[in-house]
Chain A
């Protein structure tokens, strides 16, 4: 019982320091969260790479998805929500990378189909010539 009471008298103090600590952590969190300018720039480069890889034509959905997130990242920047801006910018980088490699894949698959079509026609010609 004695212990319990002692705890009760200490509890508001603990709660007080907890609140102070939380506020301090919040402040230091803000101070440690600079504007993610580098991440935003890297995202733009990733989107340029995806465009150059032909994602507009060969992976349009994935490119659109990355572009939408890019817009959201820039909106978060203007609202000074740097945490969201950083996360969105990091996601744009992987989304754009996936769009780029998907575009390259689809392009290669289309080239392959054309070549295989050509080769079938040539094979038939060779067989005709052999007869």
Chain B
């Protein structure tokens, strides 16, 4: 009897201790994943550092709420804010990259037009 049940008790004990030492909330896990992927993107660190910092602070607030055993509703809310801040950081970096590409293409267009104009005046 004892032998049969001890592994179960042991695994239950492990599960309980794992749960109590690592409190988790699915939306907060989500927010962490989004923040981590923004952090791994070098363009975000380069072009959206302030936005990334805001996201980091929002994530800290959500983590603190979870560790302080605040209500699921509060943790979900703070996790949502953190997730959106991470998305804002990603989108900001993408937007700035696109604007840089716009400037680059606009300069190319000016040069191409000038090249064509000079070629035409040279012909005359």
Where the two chains meet, the residues of A that have a C-beta atom closer than 8 Å to any C-beta of B are 87, 90-91, 94-95, 97-98, 101-102, 104-105, 108-109, 111-112, 115-116, 118-119, 122-123, 125-126, 129
Partner of A98, one of B91, B102, B112, B115: B91
Interface secondary structure of B, over-half rule = helix
- A47 vs B30: C-alpha distance when bound (angstroms): 26
Interface range on chain B (Cβ under 8 Å from partner): 20 to 34
Q: Is the beta-carbon distance between B116 and A122 smaller than 8 angstroms?
A: yes
Partner of B109, one of A104, A108, A118: A118
Contact of B95 with A104 in the complex, beta carbons under 8 Å = yes
**Smallest CB–CB gap between B38 and chain A, Å?**
13
Give residues 48-103 of B contacting A (CB, 8 Å): 77, 80-81, 84-85, 87-88, 91-92, 94-95, 98-99, 101-102
Q: Name A115's contact: one of B77, B88, B109, B113 (CB within 8 Å).
A: B109
Query: Is B106 in contact with chain A by the CB < 8 A criterion?
Result: yes
CB closest residue in chain B, given A123: B112
Question: Does residue B19 face the partner (Cβ distance < 8 Å to A)?
Answer: no
Contact B116 A97 (CB under 8 A): no
Interface residue B24 (Cβ < 8 Å from any Cβ of A): no
B102, A119: Cβ atoms closer than 8 Å: no
Which B residues fall within an 8 A CB radius of A? Answer: 77, 80-81, 84-85, 87-88, 91-92, 94-95, 98-99, 101-102, 105-106, 108-109, 112-113, 115-116, 119-120
- Contact indicator A108/B98 (Cβ below 8 Å): yes
Per a CB cutoff under 8 Å, which of B102, B108, B115, B116 touches A111?
B102
Instruction: Give the complex CA separation of A87 and B80 in angstroms.
Output: 10
* 28 A–B contacts, CB within 8 A, in A order: A94-B80, A94-B81, A94-B85, A94-B88, A98-B84, A101-B88, A101-B92, A101-B95, A105-B91, A105-B94, A105-B95, A108-B98, A108-B99, A108-B101, A112-B98, A112-B101, A112-B102, A112-B105, A115-B105, A115-B109, A119-B105, A119-B108, A122-B113, A122-B116, A123-B112, A125-B112, A126-B115, A129-B116
Measured in the bound complex, the distance between the Cα atoms of B98 and A123 in whole Å is: 22
Interchain CB contact under 8 A, A119 and B84: no
| B108: chain A residues within 8 A (beta carbon) | 115, 119
